[in-house]
């Protein structure tokens, strides 16, 4: 590194704002070297807000700067691989937002490039770093749940289609709808808690009954300019059933819009010695011959901030990140298999 501080650049100022907040809170350990976005006005406004001097509209120009140490890739999904690969080839440490790439081929390129590099490559799977997640992981590591053989997880919204008509709802830019946008979070969280078993097959279904009719808008994301024709060629609800190499099974559901009482985020684990839920965090056991529900006290740790802090620690200490490129590839393999199953109506075998 050119200085005692890790010099970091952020590409994309949508979700990139959460990365900027995380870096800013690390104080003297990090300096935000520059911000890059194709929308120069938005980039400059964000740079002014965070006190960043350098603004770029071309990520290649930023990566060419020798003093830049690390990069957060926070672009639309279709650009993740392009930008991440360029950063790796430029010799930078990389924190890449989920999903790793828009295609399996591009994800495999990232895995290969990261293996050749001596720099840190980390996936931005922020829910792994939450306080309640880490407490539950400790229970699991101590054997309190035994062998986890079944899990179910989901993130469902009543009205939460992001940027209706923008890049989120355009398959060519996003790669899909809620499955790849928010389903990826609970899928990664749950497989992480299960011990990251390798997926062997998946079945799935997808539905689009809200977005094509202009319904269900809400949440985050940039909508297109007024008068722009609505683009919506992704699903607004997806379900999947995944099988793993250790015999475990996982059920997943994700929706941006559906007629449900309220939004829900959940992960449920069933093991041979106990079960568990997130959210809220609960562990279910038998103790002294009777069923017991345990409510662990978890620290209030935000996933995004802890994720960014872990990334910097990995750079400073030259250690392997908690969310690796190979694990990111496994998650993308599952998403790809669910989408292909939805198209064909058949179970899809995942190549190993």
User: Does residue 239 contact residue 199 with C-beta atoms inside 8 Å?
Assistant: no
Q: Can you give the pTM of this predicted structure?
A: 0.92
Residue 320 CB partners (closer than 8 Å, separation 6+)? 314
User: Does residue 242 contact residue 153 with C-beta atoms inside 8 Å?
Assistant: no
DSSP 3-state of 72: strand
Round to whole Å and give the CA distance between 278 and 81: 31
Dihedral sign from CA coordinates of 72, 171, 266, 244: negative
Report pLDDT for 63.
Answer: 98
pLDDT tens-place values along the chain, 352 residues long: 556 899 999 999 999 999 999 999 999 999 999 999 999 999 999 999 999 999 999 999 999 999 999 999 999 999 999 999 999 999 999 999 999 998 999 999 999 999 999 999 999 999 999 999 999 999 999 999 999 999 999 999 999 999 888 889 999 989 999 999 999 999 999 999 999 999 999 999 999 999 999 899 987 776 666 766 778 999 999 999 999 999 999 999 999 999 999 999 999 999 999 999 998 999 999 999 999 999 999 999 889 999 999 999 999 999 999 999 999 999 999 999 999 999 999 999 998 7
CA distances to 56, 97, 100, 218, 343 from 326, rounded to whole Å, are 30, 14, 10, 33, 26
Round to whole Å and give the CA distance between 244 and 238: 19
Find, among 58, 52, 59, 115, the residue nearest to 87 by Cα. 59
Find, among 287, 280, 269, 298, the residue nearest to 146 by Cα. 269
- DSSP code, position 155: E
User: Does residue 218 contact residue 159 with C-beta atoms inside 8 Å?
Assistant: yes
CATH class of 6-119: alpha beta
Report pLDDT for 237.
Answer: 98
Report pLDDT for 165.
Answer: 85
End-to-end CA distance of the chain: 37
Find, among 107, 74, 339, 103, the residue nearest to 221 by Cα. 74
Count other Cβ atoms within 10 Å, centred on residue 297. 8
Q: H-helix or E-strand containing 350?
A: none
Report pLDDT for 311.
Answer: 98
Length of the chain: 352
Q: How far is CA 268 from the centre of its chain?
A: 19
CA distances to 107, 261, 321 from 327, rounded to whole Å, are 11, 34, 11
User: Does residue 300 contact residue 131 with C-beta atoms inside 8 Å?
Assistant: yes
Render pLDDT for 335-352 as a digit per residue (tens, 0 to 9).
Answer: 999 999 999 999 999 987
Find, among 104, 164, 126, 108, the residue nearest to 339 by Cα. 104
Round to whole Å and give the CA distance between 215 and 115: 44
Round to whole Å and give the CA distance between 199 and 13: 33
Determine the Cα angle at 239 with ends 236 and 242, to 5°: 145
DSSP 3-state of 61: helix
> In the chain, where does the domain assigned CATH 3.30.360.10 lie?
128-303+333-349
Report pLDDT for 140.
Answer: 98
The CATH number of the domain covering residues in 128-303+333-349: 3.30.360.10
Q: H-helix or E-strand containing 334?
A: helix 325-344
Would residue 146 be called left, alpha or beta, if left means φ above 0 and alpha means ψ between -120 and 50 degrees?
left
Render pLDDT for 143-191 as a digit per residue (tens, 0 to 9).
Answer: 999 999 999 999 999 999 998 888 899 999 899 999 999 999 999 999 9
Report pLDDT for 65.
Answer: 98
User: Does residue 128 contact residue 95 with C-beta atoms inside 8 Å?
Assistant: no
Residue 207 CB partners (closer than 8 Å, separation 6+)? 235, 236, 237, 238
């Amino acid at each position: 590194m050119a200085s005692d501080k890790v010099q970091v650049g952020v590409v994309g100022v949508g979700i990139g704002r959460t990365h900027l907040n995380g870096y800013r809170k690390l104080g003297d350990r990090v300096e935000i070297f520059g911000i890059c976005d194709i929308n120069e006005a938005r980039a400059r406004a964000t740079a002014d807000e965070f006190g960043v001097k350098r603004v770029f509209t071309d990520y290649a120009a930023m990566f060419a700067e020798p003093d830049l140490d690390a990069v957060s890739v926070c672009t639309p999904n279709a650009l993740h691989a392009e930008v991440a690969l360029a950063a790796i080839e430029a010799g930078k440490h990389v924190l890449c937002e989920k999903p790793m790439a828009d295609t399996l081929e591009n994800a495999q390129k990232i895995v290969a490039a990261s293996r050749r590099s001596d720099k840190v490559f980390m996936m931005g799977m922020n829910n792994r770093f939450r306080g309640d997640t880490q407490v539950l992981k400790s229970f699991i590591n101590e054997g309190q749940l035994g062998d986890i053989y079944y899990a179910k997880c989901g993130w469902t919204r009543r009205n939460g289609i992001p940027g209706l008509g923008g890049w989120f709802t355009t398959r060519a830019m996003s790669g899909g709808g809620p499955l790849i946008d928010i389903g990826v979070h609970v899928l990664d969280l749950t497989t992480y808690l299960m011990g990251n078993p390798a997926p062997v097959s998946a079945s799935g279904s997808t539905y689009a009954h809200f977005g094509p009719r202009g319904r269900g808008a809400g949440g985050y994301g940039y909508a297109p300019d007024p008068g722009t024709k609505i683009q919506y060629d992704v699903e607004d609800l997806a379900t999947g059933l995944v099988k793993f190499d250790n015999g475990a099974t996982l059920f997943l559901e994700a929706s941006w819009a559906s007629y449900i009482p309220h939004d829900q985020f959940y992960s449920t684990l069933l093991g041979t010695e106990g079960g568990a839920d997130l959210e809220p965090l609960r562990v279910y056991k038998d103790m002294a011959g009777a069923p017991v529900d345990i409510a662990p006290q978890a620290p209030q740790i935000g996933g995004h901030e802890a994720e960014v802090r872990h990334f910097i620690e990995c750079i400073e200490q030259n250690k392997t990140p908690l969310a690796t490129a190979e694990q990111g590839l496994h998650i993308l393999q599952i998403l790809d298999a669910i989408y292909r199953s939805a198209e064909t109506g058949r179970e899809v075998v995942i190549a190993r």
